[in-house]
Amino acid sequence: MADLRVDAVLCDMDGTLVDSTTMVDTMWNEFADVHGLDGAEVRAFAHGRPSRATIARYLDDEAQVRVWTETIHSMEAGRFDGVVEVAGAVAFIEELPRERWALVTSALADPARARLRVVGIEPPDVLIGADDVTHGKPHPEGYARAARELGVDAARCVVFEDTDAGIEAGQAAGCAVVVVGPNRSAATAGLPRVDDLTQVGVRLEGTQIVLTLPERD
């Protein structure tokens, strides 16, 4: 086991704290079916990115992009079937001081708060959604803003992420990154990883958060 000492913890939501795979896959499959697209390709591109960025990749008409962005956002806000915590997420968050962790998600802020509450996590004071930034992941804006609003140096933060776009965003912001889940790619190479959040130990030492992680594989 290895210790990582930080001033704050920045978390992604879907795939990191919340398992909403069934809901998200259904949502993008519906979009793909309507437009004659390959559902697997659309889902792969969408993972970890703001919904508007995905829609704009496949639709050229700006009016249709707006319509479908509103449609997807409505789905995100009202569909919670099959949404559960990633194993260990609730216990992990409960160990963190509220003022020392933030959520940075590609979902809209209010639906993100609702999704967290569904799995038993009280949303943090600092929650950065897709509607709070100009540039979504893999741009570092969200993670940089979260660190700033917590009042800490991004270089003293750790990001928990499951997607390449999120990992790249965290690194570009200057944060340490821990990979959650099975994603293995060029972006994850050499980074510490956990299967889920049951593998992360938390203790406080003065002003520092000490996270105990498995040795790198």
Q: Where are the domains of the chain?
A: 2-19+83-213, 21-78
pTM: 0.81
Active centre residues (catalytic): 12, 14
Band (217; pLDDT cuts 50, 70, 90): low
Q: Is domain 2-19+83-213 given the CATH code 3.40.640.10 in the classification?
A: no
d(CA 186, CA 184): 7
Q: How far apart are CA 142 and CA 76, in angstroms?
A: 19
| pLDDT category of residue 73 using cuts at 50, 70 and 90 | confident
Per-residue pLDDT tens digits for 173-211: 999 999 999 999 999 999 999 999 999 999 999 989 999
Residue 157 belongs to what H/E stretch?
strand 157-161
> How many Å apart are CA 8 and CA 99, to the nearest integer?
9
pLDDT at position 2 over 90:
no
| Higher-scoring residue by pLDDT: 35, 20 | 35
Tell me the pLDDT tens digit for each residue of 109-163. 988 998 899 899 999 999 999 999 999 999 999 999 999 999 999 999 999 999 9
What is the distance of C-alpha 148 from the center of its chain?
18
**C-alpha span between 149 and 145 (Å, rounded):** 6
**How many percent of the chain have pLDDT more than 70?**
98
pLDDT at res. 77: 72
Q: Rounded CA gap, 145 and 135, in Å?
A: 11
Write down the pLDDT at residue 117.
93
